[in-house]
Amino acid sequence: MPTRRSCSFCGNEIEPGTGKMFIRKDGTVFLFCSHKCQANMLKLGRVPRWTPWTQAFRRAAGRVVAEEAVTVAEEAPAPEALAVQIAIETPKGKDIPSDLSDLIDKRLGPDLSRGDLERQYSDFVASNAFRTSIVGWSKKKHGAKPVTRIDKAEFLAWKDSPEGRRTFKSWLDGRWQEVKGRKREPAEEEEAPAPTARKAKRVASANRPRKRRRPLRPRGRRRRGPDVAERTFVLLKPDAVQRGLIGEIVCRFERRGLKVTALKLVRVSRSLGESYYAEHKGKAFFEPLMTYIAAGPVVAMVLEGDGAVAAVRKMMGKTNSAEAEPGTIRGDLALTIGRNVIHGSDSAESAKREIPLFFKPEEIHAYARIDEAWLRE
């Protein structure tokens, strides 16, 4: 006679030759009577008790069939009496179900030997919880027929049922508490031998609070803060902006190791231009210079680095682009003195005067670049 099994979701019996089986990676086996039950449990994560068309819902609502009500009303006999009255055949040795052995090894292991697995499995089938569960499940399945023997096939069917999975999981949790969750009692701890004088001194030094070590810094000049490095002011004139040279010029400065701490695109007003070129006021080229500097937007920036003023002046080249050496910014990107694309402070004092004309203090950002340690010896 073929074994009848119940659906893991709705609880209805599955007709022989029908239904679906689903096995998870942890070895848990689910049996479903239809695709609907499989989707509700595995994909949608629904609980049978709260789904109206399942037996669990009907039992919770009090709509239990007559034979189930009779079974529940009966007083369960003592586990010792069940053990005497009913013989239970369980697989042994190599016939132990692989899903049970895998769960035992995963929960109580890992890498348990075969002997340890069989010993844990024997403890499970000898437990009162197992006998009470499988006998009650078998009586419920057979109805009014008396149960005197449970064979291996019926054991396997119980193992795959929700009742069997719940009982086995509960036993595994309890055994885990015994095997792994138990803390070592103080009485069980071995008395440690008295430490020698040398060892006691080493332990005392290890327990002594240690001073916090500062992170290692590359050797060289000690830096007390971001304001130690020299700052200089650079202005990319309207012809540099119109010719699309902003990126190339900034890239040259950054490749040299100078750090950009402030940068903005602005238009120079008449009053700002007069303040900026105050030292040229009254000269013949002052008015053409005002017209040129206000002809379009300019890029103002603050560069920071060791010897920033001298480094920028050398990279710019001579004021007259026709005399600037190849490799400098004016020697490579300009032709005449009237359109020499860039201005840079000629001294640290000039930089301190020019920077406040274009930037507020909060617009200049102090930060550390990750390559600064590799720019100095």
SS (H, E, C) 347-361: CHHHHHHHHHHHCCH
Contact 161, 95 (CB under 8 A): no
How far apart, in whole angstroms, are the C-alpha atoms of residue 89 and residue 180? 30
Domain boundary (17, 38, 64) is at 64
CA angle 315, 319, 324 (to 5 degrees): 60
Burial of residue 137 (CB within 10 Å: 0-12, 13-18, 19+) is buried
Whether residues 29 and 109 share a domain: the answer is no
The amino acid occupying position 342 is I
pLDDT for 182 equals 52
Contact 54, 11 (CB under 8 A): yes
Active site residue 35: no
pLDDT for 355 equals 94
Does residue 198 form part of some domain? no
Whether residues 163 and 253 share a domain: the answer is no
What are the tokens at 188?
Answer: 């069980």
Quote the domain boundaries for residue 258: 230-374
How are the residues of the chain apportioned to helix, strand and coil, as percentages rounded to the nearest 5?
A: 50, 10, 40
Which residue has tokens 């053409």? 288
Which residue ranges in the chain fall short of pLDDT 70? 1-2, 49, 60-85, 144, 180-201, 203-228
Half-sphere exposure for 218 (CA within 13 Å, toward CB): 9
Whether residues 89 and 36 share a domain: the answer is no
Does residue 196 form part of some domain? no
Q: Which CATH number covers residue 35?
A: 2.30.170.20
Domain boundary (161, 179, 197) is at 179
Whether residues 171 and 272 share a domain: the answer is no
Query: 35, 142, 280, 343: which is the annotated catalytic residue?
Result: 343
Tally the domains of the chain: 3
Does residue 187 form part of some domain? no
